[in-house]
Structure 1
């Protein structure tokens, strides 16, 4: 049984498992067609359309011998194999899963190029887990191109775009001097019909050991609590009704921001215990590396006493604007936010500002996934105000 989330309007960690992949190996990647998508002939034809906008590639400000291009949506694409090697990573192909595996140190990502309606995309699963993220991608003359963020985010880089020179620079300049190591939780569910794959982050390298301990405890406690709850649910569910059915429990994360003395994570809990599809819960966790304090938007936007009302108005306008295309419900949002602003706890930081997200069904049908809305600090704070100055 296929278990997957919609790939439309999502930039968060998501599940793409149990797919029947019709894959064709390319020089640096694979072409895979999702069930129900356009046929492989159309997909191959679409993949060969070359965007003539050349993008120059740098690593730490130095040019490397490869070139990228722009996707149809304007995203920066780089050749997966060549760009990964330029970052000092190893690149291998897994013939069993039809994935390109990129590994650097203790970090890894498995990439699959697939066709979604009429465009190519790449799905990157992180650190041996089953969860990952969807990015723009394209196959051109047998070469797999992926969105630059598909390489920078898993491996601790920032991507800096220079519009004047059409150059993307992979750099660690400005990144906090901290190591994040993927670690698997022990499987507490011992039966033959349940697969558990929970990968959580462990932070190291901080001068303040108490802060480091507090951050790691909060992260591990989250997944420990999740697994304990799922163990109970599996026991209550009992043996699957079909011998061909198995249960699946996954946990994963991504580092969405790691600068200016602050680190921000987006955690995903995913479970499938039968039914038409699985379900997931997203959790944002942001910490000050100085003292290990968990940060809320209150801590970042405190100079604007009306920030809650300001964000609410902007969300109402955006939800109404996208109601027809995305299925968002202004009525559901208004009910959710009528007497509470607790939905603002669902956020994570980005290089551009922060993202507020909603759980499935909160403001839209399940097919809409987890709606996300991006904000810049300049939209909410006076000019010159730095919301992160206290944490450096």
Structure 2
């Protein structure tokens, strides 16, 4: 099983040999060589946009020499090589896998450009040296690779702040919690020759409150341990693969979705392939107060609105209808899931704009829909001027 999985908002790239990876992507569309520098080649379907809107790019308020652009979908795109170097990262190009590797300390991400069979360019970004990551917008214009600003800020611990008046995007750590988040690889717990295991999880350090720090790290490690125990049991039940050429896969990773105002929020990914037509994945949101290390639930953030559960349910129903969910059965599945239960609200993570609720595979939609996600702002649910994070500052 060597596949690029696009699961709605989240993508998973299984660990593959370079040639197999290239062949796999070729079945879905044209592979675009991701050069990372001016003058390199770009395959077949590079964007033909000739007069893109210019965007000024800043790092901590200081302009870099190369400007960005507004992409076809309105996303802010920045020159990958130049912006990464301005962030203090090292940039290399892997000719075998057609990927740009960006590294800064222990944070390492790879960038692979491909097309979806049409003219639209897609960018797949892995996080923290894992096989897991997200898809973003990207373009190559006149030999320069441009990537969605979030594709560079998210993996390396920056926020992107947009100033419309000057068409400027600023990569900044201003306002972020003064902690370090280190990707940590779990020693391979596998005890057989037919399962490939790669487990990465976050460890925080630098927090003044050591007790809170220990509590958060213990919760993250407990999550990983439980996930591995569950997977081991599944492997035992599945038994040895029928084919000697078949390899089981177990991958875990994460991204930091919010790191401000005394709060840290993670989205953790678990992927497993134990035979069959395709693998399965699970998402887990974990949000903590840095004051005391306690887990934060939506109940804690939205408690000033006594009807928030019903309000969110109605917002979700309306959004599912907009996306055609009334026709494909998704709305009915959601109504069944949410009937007399709001347990699905535990599946959330924070973002700069508010919060996102997600649903596991098959929970309300077929496999092809992946893990549906729905994002909200706090203003949609709370009175104007209410700060749900005030208690954690």
Query: Structure 1 residues 325 and 151 mapped into 2: Cα distance closer, same or farther (>3 Å)?
Result: farther
Q: Is residue 2:292 matched to residue 1:291?
A: yes
Query: Structure 1 residues 217 and 383 mapped into 2: Cα distance closer, same or farther (>3 Å)?
Result: same
Aligned CA RMSD, in angstroms, stands at: 2.2
Residues 26-71 of structure 1 deviation map (CA, whole Å, 9 limit, x = unaligned): xxxxx99824334569962343434511111000111111111112
Distance across 1 between alignment mates of 2:31 and 2:300: 50
Paired residues of 1:327 and 1:365 also in contact (CA < 8 A): no
Quote how far apart the aligned CAs of 1:174 are.
0.3
Q: Is residue 2:232 matched to residue 1:231?
A: yes
Q: Find the counterpart in structure 1 of residue 246 from structure 2.
A: 245
Q: Find the counterpart in structure 1 of residue 13 from structure 2.
A: 16
Q: Secondary structure at the match of 2:67?
A: strand
Paired residues of 1:19 and 1:35 also in contact (CA < 8 A): no
Distance across 2 between alignment mates of 1:233 and 1:371: 25
Paired residues of 1:287 and 1:293 also in contact (CA < 8 A): yes
Q: Find the counterpart in structure 2 of residue 116 from structure 1.
A: 116
Quote how far apart the aligned CAs of 1:17 are.
2.1
Paired residues of 2:127 and 2:155 also in contact (CA < 8 A): yes
Distance across 2 between alignment mates of 1:22 and 1:79: 27
Query: Structure 1 residues 252 and 318 mapped into 2: Cα distance closer, same or farther (>3 Å)?
Result: same
Q: Find the counterpart in structure 2 of residue 27 from structure 1.
A: none
Q: Find the counterpart in structure 2 of residue 188 from structure 1.
A: 189
Distance across 2 between alignment mates of 1:279 and 1:337: 23
Segments of structure 2 that go 5 or more residues without pairing to the other structure are 33-41
Higher alpha-carbon deviation: 368-377 or 112-121: 112-121
Q: Find the counterpart in structure 2 of residue 276 from structure 1.
A: 277
Q: Find the counterpart in structure 2 of residue 28 from structure 1.
A: none
Q: Secondary structure at the match of 1:249?
A: strand
In the superposition, the TM-score normalised over structure 1's length comes to 0.92
Quote how far apart the aligned CAs of 1:142 are.
2.1
Q: Secondary structure at the match of 2:100?
A: strand
Q: Find the counterpart in structure 1 of residue 3 from structure 2.
A: 3
Quote how far apart the aligned CAs of 1:391 are.
0.2
Paired residues of 1:99 and 1:112 also in contact (CA < 8 A): yes
Q: Is residue 2:214 matched to residue 1:208?
A: no
Residues 203-234 of structure 1 deviation map (CA, whole Å, 9 limit, x = unaligned): 11111111101100111111111111212222
Distance across 1 between alignment mates of 2:324 and 2:203: 39
Q: Find the counterpart in structure 1 of residue 338 from structure 2.
A: 337
Residues 175-230 of structure 1 deviation map (CA, whole Å, 9 limit, x = unaligned): 00011000001111122221110000001111111110110011111111111121
Q: Is residue 2:133 matched to residue 1:136?
A: no
Distance across 1 between alignment mates of 2:30 and 2:153: 31
Query: Structure 1 residues 298 and 205 mapped into 2: Cα distance closer, same or farther (>3 Å)?
Result: same
5 Å-filtered alignment, 1:157-172, equals 157-172=158-173
Q: Is residue 2:373 matched to residue 1:372?
A: yes
Query: Structure 1 residues 51 and 129 mapped into 2: Cα distance closer, same or farther (>3 Å)?
Result: farther
Query: Structure 1 residues 354 and 326 mapped into 2: Cα distance closer, same or farther (>3 Å)?
Result: farther
Quote how far apart the aligned CAs of 1:289 are.
0.3
Q: Secondary structure at the match of 2:388?
A: coil
Q: Secondary structure at the match of 2:136?
A: strand
Distance across 1 between alignment mates of 2:248 and 2:313: 38
Paired residues of 2:201 and 2:253 also in contact (CA < 8 A): yes
Distance across 1 between alignment mates of 2:50 and 2:326: 28
Q: Find the counterpart in structure 1 of residue 28 from structure 2.
A: 37
Query: Structure 1 residues 193 and 295 mapped into 2: Cα distance closer, same or farther (>3 Å)?
Result: same
Q: Find the counterpart in structure 1 of residue 306 from structure 2.
A: 305
Q: Secondary structure at the match of 2:283?
A: strand
In the superposition, the TM-score normalised over structure 2's length comes to 0.92
Q: Find the counterpart in structure 2 of residue 391 from structure 1.
A: 392
Quote how far apart the aligned CAs of 1:255 are.
0.2
Q: Secondary structure at the match of 1:254?
A: strand
Query: Structure 1 residues 32 and 72 mapped into 2: Cα distance closer, same or farther (>3 Å)?
Result: farther
Distance across 1 between alignment mates of 2:31 and 2:345: 42
Paired residues of 2:4 and 2:14 also in contact (CA < 8 A): yes
Distance across 1 between alignment mates of 2:2 and 2:24: 14
Q: Find the counterpart in structure 2 of residue 381 from structure 1.
A: 382
Segments of structure 1 that go 5 or more residues without pairing to the other structure are 24-30
Paired residues of 2:159 and 2:172 also in contact (CA < 8 A): yes
Distance across 2 between alignment mates of 1:104 and 1:362: 38
